[in-house]
Amino acid sequence: MDKFQKVDGVAAPMPILNIDTDMIIPKQFLKTIKRTGLGVNLFDEMRYTKEGAEIPEFVLNKPAYRNAQILVAGDNFGCGSSREHAPWALADFGIQVIISTSFADIFYNNCFKNGILPIALPQADVDKLMEDAERGANATVSVDLVSQEIHGPDGGVIKFEVDAFRKHCLLEGLDDVGLTLQKETSITAFEEKLAVSRPWA
């Protein structure tokens, strides 16, 4: 997992309530166990017609938001079934930060394990950032994980909270495997000792 860097860019507005994991990545794309390649199907049913043509009105198809790294969304983002493909698709598209008033618990946890920073803020702050996002390329938002601050295009600053351990893991690029490998020396020593004391195991 890549280390989380400060994100500066255009934020895409998605003022939709209860965006569930099936909306994020429909079930027909869950056959793969790879984390890559799903970005093209992110929000597939909202993004494309049944014939596969782009729907121009959908936010991520608009020129200003095609390379968005920040998503400002409605309440209860990531609800529905607990598919890890949802954060995989978001990350593969290039989304590094999602801002909402609330998230489904499993989706929220999966974000951190896949290099995405989910930020829960009061409704008034989300509304302000949504307004900024709707200005498109004329408004750049900056998200600084180290200082835990969001800087708006007009100079406003919004502080956000994040668990210290999760913050550390994002900054260091540590997923569950990375955390385990930090103990590789101890694991190897244990296995060598076990091989001597219990060679039949």
Sequence-distant (≥ 6) Cβ neighbours of residue 102 within 8 angstroms: 75, 76, 77, 120
* Residue-wise pLDDT tens digits, 124-161: 999 999 999 999 988 899 999 999 999 999 999 999 99
Q: Mind giving me the DSSP string for 24-60? A: HS-GGGTT---SSS-GGGTTHHHHB-TTS-B-TTSGG
Which CATH class name applies to 7-173?
A: alpha beta
Residue-wise pLDDT for 92-116, tens only, equals: 999 999 999 999 999 999 999 999 9
Q: What is the pLDDT of residue 37?
A: 92
Residue 8 pLDDT level (bands cut at 50, 70, 90): very high
Q: pTM of this prediction?
A: 0.88
